[in-house]
Structure 1
Amino acid sequence: MFKEWYIKHPKGIAMGDAAASYSKFELGVATKEEPFYLLIAMLPCEKLWGWLAQEIKSGINDTNVYSFWIQDNLPGSHTLANYIDENAENFKVDLKKAMKIYKDGMQCEVDFFTSGTIEEVN
């Protein structure tokens, strides 16, 4: 994977505060909630990255080293959202809890993307 992403050595990667917070959020959901809620926690990532891939899909070409990422994240592969919608009732999902987890996951996405900018946006 390092070769694919053109990363010379893993020590050159440092997890920022926003990524660490996001990881902590997902770990908390994974360890404190029923497993189905982890899918809900991961949904904002799938949705947002799918949207981002759609926005930059014109960049898919032989010279773009990230073309594979764009292609892999294009909308239409939102099977997680479909699975959640089709099975939430079967797993007796508490809608209020699910919405809070989804909202918190989306905030983690906002914080993660904002951390890559020069100016914080609130």
Structure 2
Amino acid sequence: MNGMCIVLFILAFASIGTCQSVQSTARTPECLHFSSKTSGNNHISQGFGKRIPKPTGTGHECSHNLSHWLWHETENFRTWAMNSTFVTGVRDGTLHPTSFGIFMLQDAIFCLEMSKSFQVAANQLSNGSLKSLLEHEVKSYKRCGDELLTEWHIRNAPAIVVGAECQEYIDNHVNATRDEHPIYGIVAAIPCLRLWPWIGQQINLQNHQYGVYTDWVNYNFDPTYDGYKKLEVMTNEFYAKGLIDKDKALHYYAKSIEGEAAFFDSVKP
């Protein structure tokens, strides 16, 4: 086992049960690239193209409730996330601590990059409720990323290199906020915020024991969390005003939930 893996292994055991943040990144997406490895130079990532399902495509017409339609059109990605190596590993308490640590460090970078991406969207607006919501997300994701790095005793965030799956996930949100109306930054962020409590609901229904990951699962996959709803309300309001194209919204939404599932599935058991 190389030195980096030893450090991650020790840190994982030290922080399991106390890690209480979600995702983030400290450099621009263009500077991040894939290099995470385990001992023996085996890539932690298993490839963004692995077992990727297509959007469910229920054929249902989209009513005024765009967020409801987007959620149901992407059901297959939720199933993928639920069966991913990370989720099943923490669910069963069997995920290798090194893999847990590598995921958490990338998650910190994800959050920091999301904060930057939200800031790009917010800067396009002079005022209003959408700008306020975007600025709230800027602070929220920045706080989550900073807390994760602090818990893992990381001072130099740019030294963390994310995998291909995490990078593609980041890039989707960056593309939405850079190339589209700022509301698409909200649309692309909903899957992450809604998927985690949904996973918690499924896990609770299955009555699993989480072993050393019990505290982490109970906090991060909290089935009662509903913070995503304020983003859905804003999305539905903009759609009702004709300011969102549903097909474009589905593109960014599906890429986000696909990215979440692929990121979950990029770790080794």
Q: Same fold (TM over 0.5)?
A: yes
- Aligned mate of 1:77, from 227, 230, 241: 227
Q: Quick check: 1:36–1:91 contact (8 Å CA) kept in 2?
A: no
Task: Name the CA distance, whole Å, in 1 between partners of 2:149 and 2:256.
Answer: 30
Once the two structures are TM-superposed, the CA of residue 44 in structure 1 deviates from its matched residue by: 1.2
Q: CA deviation digits over 1:11-38, x for unaligned, max 9?
A: 5743111111111111111100000111
Structure 2 residue matching 1:88: 3-state secondary structure: helix
TM-score, normalised relative to structure 2: 0.36
Structure 2 residue matching 1:34: 3-state secondary structure: coil
After TM superposition, the structure 1 = structure 2 runs for residues 1-122 of structure 1, keeping only pairs within 5 Å, are 1-2=147-148, 6-11=151-156, 13-55=160-202, 64=215, 67-71=218-222, 74-79=224-229, 80-90=231-241, 92-118=243-269
Task: Name the CA distance, whole Å, in 1 between partners of 2:233 and 2:257.
Answer: 18
The one-letter code sitting in structure 1 at the alignment partner of 2:153 is K
Q: CA deviation digits over 1:62-100, x for unaligned, max 9?
A: x836654344x7333332223322332225111111112
Q: Quick check: 2:188–2:252 contact (8 Å CA) kept in 1?
A: yes
Determine what percentage of the aligned residue pairs are the same residue. Answer: 22
Compute the RMSD of aligned alpha carbons. 2.9
The one-letter code sitting in structure 2 at the alignment partner of 1:113 is F
Q: Quick check: 1:51–1:74 contact (8 Å CA) kept in 2?
A: no
Unmatched segments (≥5 aa) in structure 2: 1-146
Distance 1:68 1:107, change over 3 A: closer
TM-score, normalised relative to structure 1: 0.71
The one-letter code sitting in structure 2 at the alignment partner of 1:85 is N
Total equivalences in the alignment: 113
Task: Name the CA distance, whole Å, in 2 between partners of 1:39 and 1:10.
Answer: 30
Unmatched segments (≥5 aa) in structure 1: none
Q: Quick check: 2:196–2:220 contact (8 Å CA) kept in 1?
A: no
Q: Which protein shows a greater Rg?
A: 2
Distance 1:65 1:112, change over 3 A: closer
